[in-house]
Amino acid sequence: MSQHNSLERQIELYKNALERERLSRERAEDLLESRTSMLYLVNQKMSSQYEQMAKRNKEISYLNSVVWILNESNCNEEIIKKYLDLTCALTGWGPAGGFLFVDEDLNFLNSNLVVSSKNNMSGISGFENLSKELHEIAPKKEEVNKIFKKPRKIEIGKNSYFIMPMEVSKSIDGLLIFECSKDLDESSAIIDIVANGSYQLTNYIERKKSEEKLKNNFAKLKDTQAQLVHSEKMASLGVIAAGVAHEINNPICFVLSNTETLLKYIKSLESLIYEYRDLANKKLDKESIVQIHKKEQEEDVDYILADCPELLRETVEGVNRVKDIVSGLKTFSHIDEADEKFVDVNECVESTLKIIWNELKYKCTLHKDLGELPKTYCYPGQLIQVFTNLLVNSSQAISEKGNIYIQTLYLSNEIIIKIRDDGSGISEENLKNIFTPFFTTKPTGKGTGLGLSISFGIIKKHNGKISAKSKLNEGTEFQISLPIKDSL
């Protein structure tokens, strides 16, 4: 009995052990199945993510390539062609082409057709035929803007085409056309990527158009500015022309008078020289000597000899005055000179005074205080125009008699020029507008309103400053500051 009970217990133990082993095996199998399923899902997710990353990387590479061709190419047609190639490579679409509108009616002109390199199959001839179809769909400008305002797929004949507008400055400037499959999903993510690339393309074309327009406007502005400067220059010449003619006429007149007198002296001395030659061939006697002395008295030789040096001195002085005026005018006429000159600004002031002296001398007492200045690189002709404008304005502000003060000094590496008058002055209301183009307080026909505006521009061109202070019935003072420029 005891032995039988012992056998039963062993059997029971084996059964329990087998059950535990079965349960363990089942749990292991469940765990293995769970882990295998999890690994499968992870693998599937990783594969999906990898595909998305590869796709995203391809899309990023596409957009980077679009940006690259925009930076590397200058020709719009070449850029569009490369863009078409890139888009075909990304999407598998093709062939592709683009119409550039160059006329206001937005006509589909084959002469403006750009095609991709992938034009085997339908080829360029297919797009040439397509232009007729598109024109039938949208024959007028309003219809082109309406129908192709947004990217869309259209069916023409047996083929499907995806069309994107090139919208520049809120107006369609062209169409990008891709032959695509009939089942193309227009809501797919690839459409957004291609549209982004198209946006980069049209944005570039718009920027180029804006730059070209800005360039043309800048050229027109420079031309207008040159015409205004020339106009003011002519106006300044008109103001000083009569005075310059008078200033030149005076020395020329006494040079001419002195020359005529010298001619008379030469004739007298010539006559006397002939007498001397005749006597040299004869025997000198007392009577001959008396005759010579009488001839010298008749011709007033002593006076001639004393007066000749003075006549010549005055003549040289008169010629030098004319030379200085002409030199000043020559510098003034070079207002548009392209190269800077290394000059003393005091010389520009002196040249200006010689040119306009006749405008000042009858009613202005001039007070000069020209300090010692270092030479600087500048445009002398332009500075002379500035000084001419300021000094003529000062003269015109003095009704009868008055004073003009000119001071130059060197201070803190700057040349300072001050021009002050005790004329009628400028009101506080007008003072803030004096550098505005076409602003003038002078009567009609007395000023262009450009003198101070152009003067302001010239001083700014020299990296300098010009300012004014004034009180009515007390006078006006202009101050110019020019930085020293000792090298080009």
Query: What pLDDT digit, counting tens, does each position of 381-437 carry?
Result: 889 888 988 998 898 889 889 999 999 999 989 999 999 999 989 888 888 888 877
Look at residue 18 in the predicted model and tell me its pLDDT: 81
Reply yes or no on whether the pLDDT at 100 is more than 70.
no
Whole-angstrom CA distances from 244 to 131, 233, 354 are 71, 15, 8
Burial 261-287 (b: 16+ CB within 10 A, else e): ebeebeebeeebeeeeeebeeeeeeee
pLDDT digits (tens, 9 = 90+) for 13-22: 777 778 788 8
- Gap between the Cα atoms of 455 and 387, Å rounded: 9
Stretch 197-203: mean pLDDT, rounded?
A: 81
pLDDT band at 168 (very low <50, low <70, confident <90, very high): low
CA neighbor of 341 nearest in space, from 381, 374, 371: 381
Question: How many CB atoms within 10 Å of residue 128?
Answer: 14
Answer whether 384's CB lies under 8 Å from 348's CB. Answer: yes
Half-sphere CA count of 456, side-chain side, radius 13 A? 12
- Gap between the Cα atoms of 380 and 35, Å rounded: 91
pLDDT band at 186 (very low <50, low <70, confident <90, very high): confident
Reply yes or no on whether the pLDDT at 105 is more than 50.
yes
Question: How many CB atoms within 10 Å of residue 299?
Answer: 19
Domain assignments of the chain as residue spans, ordered by start:
1-68, 73-187, 236-483
Mean pLDDT of the chain: 78
- Gap between the Cα atoms of 229 and 233, Å rounded: 6
Look at residue 120 in the predicted model and tell me its pLDDT: 45
CA-derived radius of gyration, the chain: 48
- Gap between the Cα atoms of 168 and 165, Å rounded: 9
pLDDT band at 251 (very low <50, low <70, confident <90, very high): confident
pTM listed for this prediction: 0.47
- Gap between the Cα atoms of 305 and 348, Å rounded: 40
Look at residue 123 in the predicted model and tell me its pLDDT: 42
Look at residue 122 in the predicted model and tell me its pLDDT: 44
CATH of domain 236-483: 3.30.565.10
**Own/partner pairs, 108-117, CB within 8 angstroms, 24+ separation:** 108/132, 108/134, 108/135, 112/174, 114/77, 114/80, 114/81, 114/84, 115/81, 115/84, 116/81, 116/84, 116/85, 116/88, 117/81, 117/85
Reply yes or no on whether the pLDDT at 475 is more than 80.
yes
Reply yes or no on whether the pLDDT at 163 is more than 90.
no
Look at residue 338 in the predicted model and tell me its pLDDT: 60
Torsion of CA 465, 470, 475, 476, to 10 degrees: 10
Evaluated on CA atoms 370, 376, 381, 383, the torsion sign reads negative
Residue in this structure with the two tokens 């000043």, named with its chain if needed? 328
pLDDT digits (tens, 9 = 90+) for 117-145: 555 434 444 566 666 777 777 767 677 77
Look at residue 124 in the predicted model and tell me its pLDDT: 43
CATH topology of domain 73-187: Beta-Lactamase (3.30.450)
**What does DSSP say about strands 113-115 and 96-100: parallel, antiparallel, or unpaired?**
antiparallel
Contact residues for 49 (Cβ-Cβ < 8 A; gap 6+): none
Q: What are phi and psi of 210, to 5 degrees?
A: -65, -40
Q: Do domains 73-187 and 236-483 have the same CATH topology?
A: no
CA 417 to the chain's CA centroid: 29
Q: What are phi and psi of 246, to 5 degrees?
A: -65, -45
CA neighbor of 346 nearest in space, from 414, 243, 415: 415
